[in-house]
């Protein structure tokens, strides 16, 4: 959906601890890096004013994300401006015992309700886990989320396949007590978001 000329846009990014900068010594995370590359004020006629808010919830699985979206996330939106939502469901569902059908339904319900409210969405998929035994299930989860998004014509950014065998990502998450990445991993996530649909979603030129 193209952005109207010079409109004010508020983007809420909701997900697990990866939406924060936990584990990043620079304190930016992937969200901070994406914000740094996204113009907040219009540089030319027709460009939008963009505000970005991050709402992380550590160890969150999709049922919790679906539950808090109603109040915590929607309360950050504002009437009279263009409100957009980035969903970054983490990789906790398999370990939490959430079935694939329930995971898909949780994401579908958010996207369907957001569409009814006129809120344009983008989905950033789950990342590989430091526990290799969980990654087959997380791969299926990522594919399931991608299918849910595709059926609704919502941009989905795959963060699993590009990172599951990436040495830089694996070195950081396996060395971390929390399983979170550091500067390298967050930089990789930011690159994926920025180069796999972010600017197109905002109807901005690449690396605006």
What's 71's domain CATH number? 3.40.50.1110
Q: Where are the alpha helices (DSSP H) in 69-159?
A: 93-96, 100-116, 135-151
Q: Is 125 a domain residue?
A: yes
Residue 206 included in any domain: no
Structure tokens that stand for 135 in this block = 């990654």
Give the 3-state secondary structure of residue 160.
Answer: coil
Domain-embedded: residue 44: yes
Q: What is the pLDDT of residue 40?
A: 79
Domain for residue 102, yes or no?
yes
Q: Which two tokens stand for residue 122?
A: 């983008």
The dihedral region occupied by 133, where left means phi > 0, alpha psi between -120 and 50, and beta the remainder, is alpha
Q: Would you say residue 19 lies in a domain?
A: yes
Give the per-residue pLDDT at 39.
Answer: 84
Identify whether 3 is part of a domain.
no
Q: How many domains does the chain have?
A: 1
Rounded Cα distance, 186 and 207, in Å: 18
Note down pLDDT in tens along the chain; length 208 residues.
555 555 789 999 999 999 999 999 999 999 999 999 998 776 566 667 899 999 999 999 999 999 999 999 999 999 999 999 999 999 999 999 999 999 999 999 999 999 999 999 999 999 999 999 999 999 999 999 999 999 999 999 999 999 999 999 999 999 999 999 999 999 999 999 999 999 999 988 776 5
Nearest Cα residue to 122 out of 142, 101, 94, 152: 152
78: domain range?
A: 8-201
176, 58, 207, 36 alpha-carbon torsion, rounded to 10°: -90
Q: Which residue has the tokens 């809120």?
A: 119
Residue 165 belongs to a domain:
yes
Residue 35 located in a structural domain: yes
Beta strand 82-88 with 49-56 is unpaired
DSSP of 26-90, one letter per residue? TS-HHHHHHHHHS-SS-SSTTPPEEEEEEEE-TT--HHHHHHHIIIIIGGG--TTSEEEEEEE--
Answer yes or no: are the C-beta atoms of 118 and 151 closer than 8 Å: no
**What's the confidence (pLDDT) of residue 1?**
56
């Amino acid at each position: 959906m193209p952005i109207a000329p010079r409109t004010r846009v508020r983007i809420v990014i909701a997900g697990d601890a990866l939406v924060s900068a936990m584990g990043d010594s620079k304190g930016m995370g992937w969200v901070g890096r994406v914000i740094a590359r996204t113009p907040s004020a219009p540089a030319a006629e027709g460009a939008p004013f963009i505000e970005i808010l991050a709402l992380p919830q550590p160890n969150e699985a999709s049922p919790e994300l679906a539950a808090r979206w109603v109040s915590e996330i929607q309360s950050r939106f504002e009437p009279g401006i263009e409100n957009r939502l980035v969903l970054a469901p983490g990789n906790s569902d398999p370990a939490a015992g959430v079935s694939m059908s329930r995971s898909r339904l949780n994401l579908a319900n958010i996207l369907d309700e957001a569409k009814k409210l006129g809120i344009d969405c983008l989905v950033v998929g789950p990342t590989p886990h430091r526990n290799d035994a969980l990654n087959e299930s997380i791969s299926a989860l990522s594919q399931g989320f991608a299918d849910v998004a595709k059926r609704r014509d919502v941009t989905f950014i795959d963060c699993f396949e590009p990172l599951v065998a990436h040495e830089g990502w694996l070195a950081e998450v396996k060395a971390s007590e929390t399983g979170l990445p550091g500067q390298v991993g967050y930089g990789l996530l930011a690159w994926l978001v920025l180069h796999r649909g972010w600017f197109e979603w905002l109807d901005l030129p690449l690396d605006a």
